[in-house]
Structure 1
Amino acid sequence: MIREVLQYPDPRLAVECEDITEITDEIRQLAADMAETMYRQDGIGLAAPQVGEHCRLIVVDVSGPEKREALMTFVNPRLELTGEKIDSEEGCLSVPGGYRATLTRSDTVRLTARDLDGNEVCMDADGLLAVCLQHEVDHLKGTLFIDHISRLKRTLYDSRVKKMQKNAPRPMPTAAARTRTGAR
């Protein structure tokens, strides 16, 4: 099932997630929904809080967005930054307007997590996968990539978001709402 991807400045994106204590059928379904949503949005990663669930679950597939051949799902992922610092241009499905910025990330990481069968996963990642993992694990801490940019760039972006929200089409009020407000 395709899920709605929350958009900044939704406050639910800033909530730190809880560990998953038991891998249930509901968690497996959430992971499947997240993967389907990520692919539909042409993303390469998605974290549970981006679809309104505050648990430590991420899906990534850096073979995409075209190929979709290497889906990985991680429960309760933890990262150890093991490499040199590199500059990486990032965007995010939860950051509207196609905004991208250059961040400094580690070029290699060590990930420890569980898979959907409860098996322990320990892997080293580099390049795009390392950057993607850092980006998605940040979401689990309630952090968006725009939280890492300079104050000036953030202020400019926030102004852009306010303008987009102001110019967004507004839904027509329902008959009940028109009656309550006195609108006709």
Structure 2
Amino acid sequence: MSLKLQVIICSTRPGRVGPAVARWFHEFARNHGQFDVELVDLAAFDLPIYDEPVHPRMQQYAHDHTKRWGASVARADAYVFVMPEYNYNPPPALVNALNFVYREWNHKPCGFVSYGGVSGGLRAAQAAKLQITTLKVMPMPEGVAIPMVPKHIQENGEFASNELIDASAVTLLDELLRWATALKTLRT
């Protein structure tokens, strides 16, 4: 059975370009052929600001939205967060979603496909790595950074990659595969 990789769209705002970037990476990861790849959109979960009365470590979820989100997170062996940079930080929707559950994240690797202006979202990805480690998730040093993302969006709304972006995507996927394979043994 192949490892399950979730490609998670982390921006929930209207007019976002995250879905176009995520669709590209989802297809790229499928063609890579080493993962069973699922595209997940945080916006579809409509999570409110964290509202669970019991610490997520206990998994005693009071709300259906948390149960649905927890089940989604639990399905994966690895994650790629497709995210913009907001004021040098990850989008608030991602920070909130990370906080909703705990054990479902444990002992899995993650990577980041970040996008934005000249920095390509790297500052936000670095900030997210600090939070993600507290959930016992191993962030990959490798990542995909997409600077000046509007220049990569075609008239039809689709994302257009290039050789450099594709090369970094292969490197990220190869490394995620190594870690996902190794960390699965901690969970069995």
User: Taking structure 2 as the reference length, what is the TM-score of the superposition?
Assistant: 0.28
Larger radius of gyration: 1
Question: Which has the larger share of strand?
Answer: 1
User: Taking structure 1 as the reference length, what is the TM-score of the superposition?
Assistant: 0.28
Question: Which has the larger share of helix?
Answer: 2
